[in-house]
Amino acid sequence: MELGFLLGSVVKIIAILAYLYGLLWVLGRPNRWVRLIGMIVAFGVIQLALTSFGGFQILTNFDSGLLFQACAMTMVALGLNLIYGFNGQFSLGQWGFYGIGAYAAADITYRWINGDARGLLVVGFGTILGGLALILVGRWLGRFRGVPVLSSFTLYLIGAIVAGIVAVFIGNALNPLFEPLLGTNTNPGVLNSPLALQVVFFLAVVFAGIFAAEVSFLFGLPVLTLGSDYFGIATLGFTIVVNVLMINSDTILPFPEMKGGRGMVGIPKLTTWFWAFFFMMAVIIIMRNLIQSSTGRAIISVREDEVAAKAMGIDVAGSKLLAFVVGSFFAGIGGAVYAHFIGFLSPGTFGFLQSFNPLIIVVFGGLGSMTGTIAASFGWIFFLEGLLRVLLSQMGTEAPTWRFVLYPITLLLLMLIRPQGLLGNLEWGFLKQKDVLPREKPLADKPEMTASEV
């Protein structure tokens, strides 16, 4: 029985990795219809495996939980890889942005199903107006030479706070219009029909991501001027601050529905495989496209050599900020997806010890390798949660504790054998940068004499 289970788990892990490889392979095909069909098939395969046929299901409910967790973790870890692996900024703040995304999205949908539209209105208007305010302040500041970082930070902060206050007023003013349509929890109105709820969920995830990105902009602006190590400590502080705010969300923050340290219950479980797949693919594609554009090369050049990047005309501070904001955006989306699959948020999940999880995944998979991060996210969840928890629990009730002994040992061995991470900087299929071919024919204005000939 135990052996059979072990084999089954190993087969599942191999199947998942083969699945990821196939997915990335098909996305790398040149024909766009092949890519589209491939993506639909990739979605359908898991969807079928999750569907119950007369009581038989290939992936059990436990497996599907792991799957969604892995999808959320992929988004968070890819964001961190952008910040740490590609941009070279050691950040422990990713988990804080993950928490912000989770709580913001959960608050929107929780209020919505309980007949309160203010969550969506305030967060929605807040992020849009806040974004506009930040852009306008940025435009205005661009006209001056040598503005100190703290001065511009103060202006950005004022802009964001004003936008937030305006959003609260708008939310409170518009809420009565929505209330009759929302109905109550026991008697749902029009806007709480299953379809409308899907739309609200989508908006909640996107707004949560943007909200996390805006917070990261305000936080990153002054803090990114610190050197990499000091930046790491400051971001760790950020995660702790966010966690403390979560624990006290019903006392020092005006959010009684978050229930502070007791944990937020009753979040609608809206994350389906479709949404998890959709958001994960969106994150993968956005990040891959970003990395393989000129902006992405600028981001990587900052990791390689900051001084040289400056001398090549790269706005180093701007590149760092961009990578940090985009990375946090991914974390916020990941958090929102996580919140709606688990249905319960506890501040304990977002503690600072757990904040090392995405870091471990990124290092494990290989800094600067998207493929490695994706594979490690899935592998990590299935290894730690799936394999070890279930396997060890068959040996005795106390045994699962051992997984936190086995797991660091695995990490240690990996770091000894492959310090560059599981995949180094190898990429698969879609994520692989195509080698640039030499020019086919010399251009017409090719110089007659080249320096190599003189």
Partner 1 sequence: MMTTISTILDIKDLTKFFGGLGAVRNFDLTLKKGDLNGLIGPNGAGKTTVFNLITGIYEPTAGEILFDNTSIVGLQPFEITRLGIARTFQNIRLFSNLTVLDNVRIAYHPHTRYGLADGIFHNQKFHVHEKELTEKAQEFLAIFGLEHLQNEIAKNLPYGQQRRVEIARALACEPRLLLLDEPAAGMNPREILELMDLIHFIHDRFDLTILLIEHQMRVVMGICKYITVMDFGQVIARGTPKEIQENERVIEAYLGKGAGHAA
Binding site for partner 1 (CB under 8 A): 145-146, 286, 289-290, 292-298, 300-301, 304-305, 307-316, 322, 425, 435-436, 438-439, 442-443, 446-447, 449-454
Distance CA 193, CA 236 (A): 41
Across the strands, what pairs with 53?
A: 56
Residue (95 or 330) nearer to partner 1, CB: 330
Residue (186 or 452) nearer to partner 1, CB: 452
Q: Over 397-427, what HEC string results?
A: CCHHHHHHHHHHHHHHHHHHHCCCCCCCCCC
Alpha-carbon Rg for the chain, nearest whole angstrom, is 24
Distance CA 26, CA 372 (A): 17
Minimum distance between the CB of residue 450 and partner 1, rounded to whole angstroms?
Answer: 6
Residue (83 or 117) nearer to partner 1, CB: 83
Contact 45, 19 (CB under 8 A): yes
Minimum distance between the CB of residue 209 and partner 1, rounded to whole angstroms?
Answer: 14
Longest dimension (CA), the chain: 85
Minimum distance between the CB of residue 398 and partner 1, rounded to whole angstroms?
Answer: 46
Closest C-alpha to 403, from 383, 379, 375: 383
Name the DSSP class of 192. G
Contact 246, 347 (CB under 8 A): yes
Minimum distance between the CB of residue 290 and partner 1, rounded to whole angstroms?
Answer: 6
Distance CA 12, CA 325 (A): 35
Residue (2 or 305) nearer to partner 1, CB: 305
For the chain, the residue count is: 454
Minimum distance between the CB of residue 430 and partner 1, rounded to whole angstroms?
Answer: 12
Minimum distance between the CB of residue 368 and partner 1, rounded to whole angstroms?
Answer: 8
Residue (311 or 416) nearer to partner 1, CB: 311
Name the DSSP class of 33. H
Residue (176 or 447) nearer to partner 1, CB: 447
